[in-house]
């Protein structure tokens, strides 16, 4: 039974690897150019043609750049469309290097391709998205100031005025965006406001087995949109809580003031850009009237605590998959341990010890059962030989033998099965948790979220560097196998002999933090097996320590 549980565990890892390779490819090819006819949109009983084009409209003229600085980021806004030109996070860097620049969340550079473009969906206001706005400030520095505003104004010749107001908060990645449209013309405006993020997917952080792309919280559920399945554009209607673009560790999101029945539009352009838009419900603005659209923006790390505190369901962007119910408590414990030791590598070791203590009674009983099963191997072999032509009778006799010696054949596989959720939850944490990004351990291990590689002066095929931690993990598995009672089946014995090699190859590209967890778990299991083989119980060790302390 233990062999089957182990086989199921290995198959589960392989399924996870294959699934994530298929489900979350890091790169998408740009779609081939196609001719597309004008679309027709029905609005309140009439048809309005909307021409779809892959070529962005050129912004004519040059506007000023407005500098904004808070304790968390520096941003540059441009008067060209009142868009965002740069957004750099002060607490995060692009790479591990000492001279690495701050993390940049704007991945485009051309004026027409900058994010936070605003426009009317059906083009009711000509030149809206290419307009040169007028900013009322040259710069903003939130130094001891809790909140500051930046206004951009623009008006059409016919008398339609647009004011975009960005409101910045100290100690927060949230930015408020209000778009006020004043209709001083003599016509009725019927349209929907469209706010767009524009992202270069090749510039975003992309890693194997992780999702990078547009995402939205629609009808209370997280929708991660795989752009390779979108030919040119696709709409996602529903009650929208937020829409954005996420990579492994960072999120840029547009948030309506409250969840509303509206539309998310994803467009894949010929220039490889991905447009992620939030489109408001239809509105009507009569002459001499105005309408203000309220949004919030989030540009920052996918820090679970930060996102949960902000609300809006943003914390769902941190997606640990099927094992969220285990992963989130584990992450909380890991962060608590980090506060104590100030090193996530040591925190992982302490977490492994804690998990081992929790599972100790079960694993101890399991190892004892395996040892008892080993002693019964001669009798079991005789029964298998005697009833080899009658499987039903053989199983009955084996179960009778187990009952006689009070052995539960299932107890050997139970600890392995119980550790599967913990293993995969930790795997997800080490892939997605921003806390582990660039988290050093010691010596050559300077990023626990990356594979373990030691540079040795020359390139090793497939790995590049020497995977020291992974090799140590494989060696520890080999030692553990030697100490563990072997199964009676020769086929199973051969499989168990190759198991350390199989695991070593599987773990080569896993995060070094996960390899560290498995290595420490193996070392603790070796110690536990040694105690069992020597007839030492954990309670006996504690009792002896207590007696010695009393004597001293």
Q: Where are the domains of the chain?
A: 61-319, 333-369+413-541
CATH of domain 61-319: 2.70.98.90
The secondary element (H helix, E strand) that includes residue 429 is helix 414-432
Q: Which residues pair with 323 in a beta bridge?
A: none
**How many CB atoms are closer than 10 A to CB 342?**
9
Task: With H, G, I as helix, E, B as strand and everything else as coil, classify residue 333.
Answer: helix
Cα–Cα dist 278/116, whole Å: 10
Q: With contact defined as beta carbons under 8 Å apart, do 302 and 92 qualify?
A: no
DSSP 81: T
Closest C-alpha to 162, from 198, 132, 121: 132
pTM attached to this predicted model: 0.77
- Mode of pairing for the β-strands spanning 139-141 and 65-69: parallel
Angle of CA points 515, 516, 522, to nearest 5°: 90
In eight-state DSSP terms, residue 439 is -
Q: How far apart are CA 546 and CA 552, in angstroms?
A: 10
Which residues lie across from 183 on neighbouring strands?
Answer: 160, 289
Mind listing the pLDDT tens digit of every residue in the chain (552 residues)? 445 555 555 555 555 555 454 444 444 443 333 333 334 434 433 444 444 445 455 555 578 999 999 999 999 999 999 999 999 999 999 888 778 899 999 988 888 788 999 999 888 888 888 889 999 989 999 887 789 999 999 999 989 999 999 999 989 999 999 999 999 998 999 999 999 999 887 554 545 557 788 999 999 999 888 877 777 888 999 999 999 999 889 999 999 999 989 999 998 887 778 999 999 999 999 999 999 999 999 999 999 999 999 999 999 999 888 888 888 999 999 999 999 999 999 999 999 999 888 877 777 666 666 667 767 778 877 877 787 787 888 888 878 877 787 776 666 566 667 777 887 888 888 888 899 888 898 888 888 988 888 877 667 766 667 888 999 999 998 888 777 655 555 566 666 677 788 888 888 888 888 899 889 988 988 887 777 767 655 455 445 545 555 554
Tokens 């302490």 found at: 350
Range 466-473, long-range pairs (CB < 8 A, 24+ positions): 467/508, 468/444, 469/445, 469/512, 469/515, 469/516, 469/519, 470/504, 470/507, 470/508, 470/510, 470/515, 471/504, 472/519, 473/503, 473/504, 473/507, 473/515, 473/518, 473/519, 473/522
Question: Within 13 Å of residue 121, how many CA atoms lie on the same side as its CB?
Answer: 24
Distance between CA atoms of 171 and 108, rounded to whole angstroms?
26
Q: Which residues contact 486 (CB under 8 A, 6 or more apart)?
A: 374, 493, 496
Q: From the centroid of its chain, how far is CA 36?
A: 35
Tell how strand 233-246 and strand 221-224 pair up: unpaired
* Residue 275 neighbours by CB under 8 Å, 6+ apart: 196, 197, 198, 265, 266, 267, 268, 269
Interatomic CA distance for residues 413 and 502, integer angstroms: 19
CA-wise closest residue to 362 among 426, 424, 417, 323: 417
């Amino acid at each position: 039974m233990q062999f089957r549980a182990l086989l199921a565990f290995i198959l589960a890892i392989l399924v996870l690897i294959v699934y994530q390779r298929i489900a979350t490819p890091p790169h998408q090819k740009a779609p081939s150019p196609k001719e597309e006819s004008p679309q027709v949109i029905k609005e309140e009983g009439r048809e309005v043609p909307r021409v779809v084009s892959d070529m962005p409209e050129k912004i004519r003229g040059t506007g000023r750049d407005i500098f904004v600085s808070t304790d968390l980021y520096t941003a540059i806004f441009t008067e060209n469309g009142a868009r965002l030109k740069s957004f750099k996070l002060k607490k995060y860097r692009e790479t591990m290097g000492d001279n690495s620049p701050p993390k940049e969340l704007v991945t485009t550079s051309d004026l027409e391709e900058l994010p936070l473009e605003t426009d009317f969906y059906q083009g009711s206001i000509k030149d809206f998205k290419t307009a040169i706005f007028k900013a009322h400030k040259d710069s903003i520095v939130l130094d001891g100031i809790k909140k500051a505003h930046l206004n951009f104004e623009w008006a059409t010749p016919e008398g339609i005025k647009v004011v975009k107001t960005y409101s910045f908060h100290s100690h927060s990645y949230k930015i408020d965006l209000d778009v006020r449209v004043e209709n001083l013309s003599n016509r009725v405006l019927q349209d929907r406001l469209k706010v767009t993020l524009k992202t270069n997917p090749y510039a975003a952080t992309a890693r194997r087995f992780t999702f990078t792309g547009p995402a939205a919280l629609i009808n209370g559920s997280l929708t991660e949109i795989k752009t390779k399945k979108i030919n040119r554009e696709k709409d996602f209607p529903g009650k929208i809580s937020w829409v954005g673009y996420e990579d492994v560790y960072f999120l840029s999101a547009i948030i309506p003031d409250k969840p509303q029945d509206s539309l998310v539009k994803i467009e894949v352009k010929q220039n490889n850009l991905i447009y992620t838009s939030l489109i408001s419900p239809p509105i009507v603005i009569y002459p001499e009237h105005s309408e203000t659209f309220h949004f919030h923006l989030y540009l920052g790390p996918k820090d679970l605590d930060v996102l949960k505190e902000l609300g809006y369901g943003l914390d769902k962007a941190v997606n640990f998959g099927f094992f969220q119910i285990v992963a989130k408590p584990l992450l909380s414990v890991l962060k608590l341990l980090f506060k104590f030791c100030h090193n996530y590598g040591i925190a992982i070791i302490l977490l492994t010890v804690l998990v081992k203590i929790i599972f100790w009674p079960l694993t101890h009983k399991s190892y004892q059962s395996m040892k008892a099963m080993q002693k019964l191997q001669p009798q079991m072999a005789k029964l298998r030989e005697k009833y080899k032509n009658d499987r039903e009778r053989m199983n009955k006799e084996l179960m009778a033998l187990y009952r006689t010696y009070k052995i539960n054949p299932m107890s050997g596989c139970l600890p392995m099965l119980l550790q599967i959720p913990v293993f995969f939850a930790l795997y997800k944490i080490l892939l997605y948790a921003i806390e582990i990004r660039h988290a050093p351990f010691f010596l050559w291990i300077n990023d626990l979220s990356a594979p373990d590689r030691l540079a040795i002066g020359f390139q090793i095929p497939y790995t590049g560097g020497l995977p020291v931690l992974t090799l140590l993990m494989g060696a520890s598995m080999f030692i553990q196998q030697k100490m563990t009672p072997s199964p009676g089946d020769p086929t199973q014995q051969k499989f168990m002999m190759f198991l350390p090699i199989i695991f070593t190859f599987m773990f080569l590209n896993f995060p070094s933090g996960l390899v560290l967890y498995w290595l420490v778990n193996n070392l603790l299991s070796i110690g536990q097996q040694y105690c069992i083989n020597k007839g030492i119980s954990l309670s006996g060790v504690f009792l002896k320590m207590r007696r010695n302390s009393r004597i001293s």
